[in-house]
Amino acid sequence: MGKFEGQVVLVTGASSGMGKATALGFAREGATVALVARRADVLQEVAAEVESLGGTALPLPTDLADGVQARAAVEKTVAAFGRLDVVVNVAGTNLKKRAIAVLDPADWDEMLATNLSAAFHTTQAALVPMRTQQSGLIIYVSTGAVQHPDTSGVAYQASKHGISGLAHGTREEEKGNGIRTCIIFPGLTKTPLLNKRPTPTPPEVVAKALLPEDVAAACLFVAGLPPRVRVPEMQILPAGL
């Protein structure tokens, strides 16, 4: 039996990159996984991979920036499997015109909606079944740019700083209900998000980057700890950069 046999895990951004790797990682360890992202066709492919591992997956095409859709995704998960043990918030994006000198206000709003409001809606919805269970873990995959500001863009960095307030504030308010939170801050990771950089990342730098599976392993580590343990934050950085 896997480490997470009998547990239900909902992963956002599950169609690619760190989200997909995290969903597959939990599935390999016996968890039932709810797959949440916008692209229905790709989610079906990920669900098929989970099933090829002998696992169970529920693909839920969802725009998490819409609170109604986010709540529906959580409710469908609980209706299908009876509980919700872990949520991993991975969904996020960036854009090429990211410097404040050229950032369009509409793009600012979209970045906050996708990177921050989506996590808020998912968190608020997930707290309902977790309070009933008196247990639950919510993991937020953020960015190393929170500790080390860079040129990833003011909207991206502002949204990820907001994730820290969401995660820590939620934990303080909900710790009496047995609910824990953790923020994981990855450094450079080889994911499709690199394609949205204004200039391509040199291949020799990408070669030293983390892989999505490394971030997934960090999520599984935190989720595998006993309920008496909380890990408020964890940095995971490429060793060679």
CA 31 to chain centre: 16
What is the spatial distance between Cα 172 and Cα 62, in angstroms, rounded to a whole number? 28
151 Cβ contact partners less than 8 Å away, ≥ 6 residues apart: 98, 99
Calpha distance 198→99 (Å, rounded): 10
Q: Which of 4, 81, 156, 185 is catalytic?
A: 156
Closest CA relative to residue 118, chosen from 62, 39, 192: 62
Which amino acid makes up residue 154?
V
CB-CB contact of 228 with 36 (8 Å): no
What does 106-168 look like in DSSP terms, one character per residue? HHHHHHHIIIIIHHHHHHHHHHHHHHHHT-EEEEEE--GGGTS--SS-HHHHHHHHHHHHHHH
Give yes or no: 140 in active site. Answer: no
Residues 6 or more apart whose Cβ sits within 8 Å of residue 79 = none
* Alpha-helical regions (H) of the chain: 17-28, 40-52, 67-81, 105-112, 118-133, 154-174, 203-206, 212-223
Active-site amino acid positions: 156
